Structure 1
Amino acid sequence: MGNSKILLHLSQFSTFTHFKTSPESTGISSAPYAVILSVLLSIYSLYGYDAAAHLTEETKDADRTGPVAILSSLGIISVFGWAYYLALTFSIRDLDYLYNTDNETAGALVPAQIIYDAFYGKFHNSTGAVVFLCIIWGSYFFCGLSVTTTAARVVYALSRDKGIPFSPIWRKVHPRSKVPTNAVWLCAAIGLLLGLPILKLDVVFTAIISVSTIGWVGGYAIPILARLVMAEENFKPGPFYLGRASRTVCLVAFLWICYACSAFLLPTFYPLRWKTFNYAPVALTFVLTLIMLWWVLDARKWFKGPVRNIDVQDGN
């Protein structure tokens, strides 16, 4: 009993002092490079505030409640995410075994292996690990459902402003459910088509996550940069205003976004091969090229920006 307590204290202490790069499985031996890549998951998770931003136009006093909701979501995600990471790292029993290709998850699913080792080491049974993983997989399902819902709202908003092809189809609202069902089905179909290649190629998942996060986060960099370069006398603050700290916060936020977008373009495995290459730069270049060509050749001739509801009502 005494020895187990000593090992537990040592493992908890090593959580904050031990650093492992696992070059045998990732090919990465550089500690600074590993630190840069280690923040990718937290970057993707922290941007859950986007859902709160999408809902602001449907809330009362959105110019005040919106920022409060965004900050609240960031705080909740940070606290619970930190607690989850600590619990996960405290549960590691053998660092070398985590990446061993002969372990129960073939060295590919490290969090699942940590959970399996914790339950099996304590109860000599894997039932608890399976139940716990089912809970996590269930949360993945609801996370995907939330992403699909958010994407459908974006498609509906853009089609309402006539900003995407076949806008009349996607902005159509079901008469009974009052939901843009066509937009929902479009996002579900795109998600399904993008997810199918992941069954065979892991690099597709990396590319999709990278491109979606860059596009997601990069969109916030534009108004932040505009605030930085805007003359102070031309800026009209709203009810939620940071005062003198606003420019400093904007600068830090803009630099963080630049760092995050750059990190998602880096390779995560070495040596570089067809099956380990990060195709995010290629996919991002392809998508941006299509969008810019569409804008230059067609969209700039008719797209005039967001459609204000009051203008539509006056027109009727």
Structure 2
Amino acid sequence: MADHTGTQAYGTQSDAYNATHDMRYRDTKDTRKSSGVAEDASFSDADELLAAMGYKAELVRTRSTLQVAFMSFVLASIPYGLSTTFYAPLIGGGPANIIWGFVGVSLIILCVALSLGEITSVFPTAGGVYYQTWMLSSPSYRRIASWICGWSYVVGSITITLAVNFGTALFFAGCINVFGGEEGVFEANSWQIYLIFLAITLLCNAISALGNRWLPWLDTFAIFWTFAGVIAIVVCVLAIAKNGRNDASYVFGEFNPSLSGWPAGWSFCIGLLQGAYVTSSTGMIISMCEEVQHPATQVPKAMVGTILLNLACGCVFLIPLLFVMPDQEFLANLASGQPLPEIIYYAVGHPGGTFALLIPLIVLGLLCGTACTTAASRCTWAFSRDGAIPGSRWWREVNLKLDVPLNAMMLSMAIQLALGLINFGSSAAFNAFSGIGVICLTLSYAVPIAVSLLGGRKLVAQGSFYWGVIGLIANIIALSWSILAIPLFCMPTYIPITAEYMNYASVVFFAFFCVSTAWYFIWGKKNYQGPPTHEVSQIQARRVSVTADDLK
């Protein structure tokens, strides 16, 4: 058993496993050579850096710089995410809330991405923010800080995946109902939506598990598919605009918070859920560090670059829709809670044409669900291999034939399907799923940023993605946003509040808090020793060597 200074020892691997992994690694190198890609010494150096951080490489590094950036883009899937959450800013204030809320949140999340990028350049591992919190924290509180962060990261990744798949089910139902006029084609009641959600969840898990080797190419396809779909929608709705176009003052300045019932300022803030939801996956790409060729440099660049790309793509998508959007109150009263199909139908005037334009968004929803499923399984696996989740010995296993942590993926799927049952008790279930995902991921991102700031940012100063004073300002903005977002997205979208329309994000968040806290005192306080790390100085020495190789 390997000895790790000052921390727990990580379990030994069998000779059979080592042989299998070495064979898979050689196969990957052979594939790269056969495709004309020159073998880079730092491709193996990344595994050596991982070993310096206390882990044996168990997943094959197949993603290039562009491919990890593409996956980060697909995790957000901006046009799809903005479509399924259009309702929140619509009743929060209308056009001004939709466009300026998205722009404002994107700029804030850029600060979060920059802050996490600084840290990830120093500690690139699938444990992500949980591992980083451990390494950055003082020994006096590192166990509890990493425990809270890890549980928040896992729960957030699982519930945001649930929100994506459930949102796709609702959106698909709304798309189908454009053929039925005001009555719709089918009722889309709770059990119908749940069955659609079940089918989507099973499909995304099957693609992620069985098609792992092709996922980077699927992400690449998604980029071109997204741009083609956005262009088709924008051109058609603006060119046809059957019912006319709104003027620019309406698109950029109309603010009507009366539909939510909240005071104007708070109503605008609640409408920020749309922007927060589509950018909440920012840090999930860190979970893929052990499948990326040069994670210390590629992942930080992908996080920051993708936010800028998403901001541009989102504005190009939203602004034309606002120019052709029908009456705000009419959209707010839709039984489906999905305004986008009606907006496009209002502009195009033909159900067949409307559905054709919606197909790119439906497909993008499935691709986003697959990417989120993949990332959620990796962070669940990473947290399990350090014994922090009940039954860890099952969830930390990697399926050698599929090259995926299949058991962790199945655990994540089972939790999603169970939480999906909330839909039978509340028609506002989607708000709860998206809200809890945003809350938990926001908390998990805030913890390592906070402990890094408390430590004077000394360790991130040694990284290859250090931003100096700009990074310090980004840290402060990121933490200020976290303080606002956590209580904000527990609030109902509108008042008066009823049991059916209550936002149950606060209930799920409290349940997670109780489970994680109870497990800590039952088992974690005595047995949990954190990740199997070496001293920071050893990791830093190896990181400097790897970074130097990357820059050659």
TM-score, length of structure 2 as denominator length: 0.50
Runs of 4+ residues over 4 Å off in structure 1: 7-10, 232-236
Instruction: Answer yes or no: is 1:63 the counterpart of 2:296.
Output: yes
Structure 1 residue 248: deviation in Å? 1.5
Instruction: Answer yes or no: is 1:110 the counterpart of 2:339.
Output: yes
Instruction: Answer yes or no: is 1:53 the counterpart of 2:53.
Output: no
Name 1:257's counterpart in structure 2: 482
382, 393, 396: which one aligns with 1:168: 393
Q: Kindly indicate whether the alpha-carbon contact (under 8 Å) linking 1:224 and 1:250 is maintained by their aligned counterparts in 2.
A: yes
Q: Kindly indicate whether the alpha-carbon contact (under 8 Å) linking 2:262 and 2:494 is maintained by their aligned counterparts in 1.
A: no
Instruction: Answer yes or no: is 1:81 the counterpart of 2:314.
Output: yes
Q: Kindly indicate whether the alpha-carbon contact (under 8 Å) linking 1:48 and 1:73 is maintained by their aligned counterparts in 2.
A: no
Q: How does 1:1-316 map to 2 (within 5 A)?
A: 10-23=246-259, 27-28=260-261, 30-100=263-333, 105-106=334-335, 108-120=337-349, 125-198=350-423, 201-231=426-456, 236-308=461-533
Distance 2:324 2:433 in 1: 30
Identity %: 26
Structure 1 residue 173: deviation in Å? 1.8
Gap change, CA 1:223 and 1:112, over 3 Å in 2? same
Gap change, CA 1:274 and 1:200, over 3 Å in 2? closer
Tell me which amino acid in the other structure corresponds to 1:81.
G
Structure 1 residue 107: deviation in Å? 6.5
Tell me which amino acid in the other structure corresponds to 1:91.
V
Structure 1 residue 157: deviation in Å? 0.7
Tell me which amino acid in the other structure corresponds to 2:343.
I
Structure 1 residue 44: deviation in Å? 1.2
Q: Kindly indicate whether the alpha-carbon contact (under 8 Å) linking 1:227 and 1:250 is maintained by their aligned counterparts in 2.
A: no
Distance 1:302 1:119 in 2: 61
Distance 1:295 1:200 in 2: 30
Distance 2:421 2:359 in 1: 21
Q: Kindly indicate whether the alpha-carbon contact (under 8 Å) linking 2:261 and 2:495 is maintained by their aligned counterparts in 1.
A: yes
Q: Kindly indicate whether the alpha-carbon contact (under 8 Å) linking 2:426 and 2:501 is maintained by their aligned counterparts in 1.
A: no
Gap change, CA 1:99 and 1:239, over 3 Å in 2? closer
Q: Kindly indicate whether the alpha-carbon contact (under 8 Å) linking 1:52 and 1:73 is maintained by their aligned counterparts in 2.
A: no
Task: Give CA deviations for 1:205-231 in whole Å, capped at 9, x if unaligned.
Answer: 222221122111111111111122224
Distance 1:299 1:54 in 2: 23
Distance 1:197 1:131 in 2: 32
Task: Give CA deviations for 1:54-94 in whole Å, capped at 9, x if unaligned.
Answer: 22343344222221111011112111112211122122133
Gap change, CA 1:61 and 1:53, over 3 Å in 2? same
Gap change, CA 1:110 and 1:234, over 3 Å in 2? closer
> Which one is further off, 228-237 or 157-166?
228-237
Gap change, CA 1:246 and 1:186, over 3 Å in 2? same
Distance 2:329 2:459 in 1: 58
Consecutive unaligned residues of structure 2, counting only runs of 5 or more, are 1-239, 535-552
SS at match of 1:202: coil
Distance 1:130 1:22 in 2: 31
Q: Kindly indicate whether the alpha-carbon contact (under 8 Å) linking 2:273 and 2:435 is maintained by their aligned counterparts in 1.
A: no
Structure 1 residue 189: deviation in Å? 2.1
**RMSD of equivalent CA atoms:** 2.4
Gap change, CA 1:178 and 1:39, over 3 Å in 2? same
SS at match of 1:209: helix
Name 2:74's counterpart in structure 1: none
Q: Kindly indicate whether the alpha-carbon contact (under 8 Å) linking 2:426 and 2:499 is maintained by their aligned counterparts in 1.
A: no
Q: Kindly indicate whether the alpha-carbon contact (under 8 Å) linking 1:93 and 1:114 is maintained by their aligned counterparts in 2.
A: yes
Structure 1 residue 158: deviation in Å? 1.3
Structure 1 residue 161: deviation in Å? 1.6
Distance 1:211 1:227 in 2: 25
Q: Kindly indicate whether the alpha-carbon contact (under 8 Å) linking 1:98 and 1:107 is maintained by their aligned counterparts in 2.
A: no
Gap change, CA 1:31 and 1:282, over 3 Å in 2? same
Task: Give CA deviations for 1:172-210 in whole Å, capped at 9, x if unaligned.
Answer: 222322222112222222222222432662232222221
Structure 1 residue 232: deviation in Å? 5.8
Name 2:28's counterpart in structure 1: none
Gap change, CA 1:142 and 1:306, over 3 Å in 2? same
Q: Kindly indicate whether the alpha-carbon contact (under 8 Å) linking 2:283 and 2:445 is maintained by their aligned counterparts in 1.
A: no
Structure 1 residue 10: deviation in Å? 4.5
Gap change, CA 1:144 and 1:235, over 3 Å in 2? closer
Tell me which amino acid in the other structure corresponds to 2:453.
L
Higher relative contact order, chain-length normalized (CA < 8 Å, sep 6+): 2
SS at match of 1:298: helix
Task: Give CA deviations for 1:7-32 in whole Å, capped at 9, x if unaligned.
Answer: 95653331012112352xxx425221
Gap change, CA 1:76 and 1:236, over 3 Å in 2? closer
Consecutive unaligned residues of structure 1, counting only runs of 5 or more, are 310-316
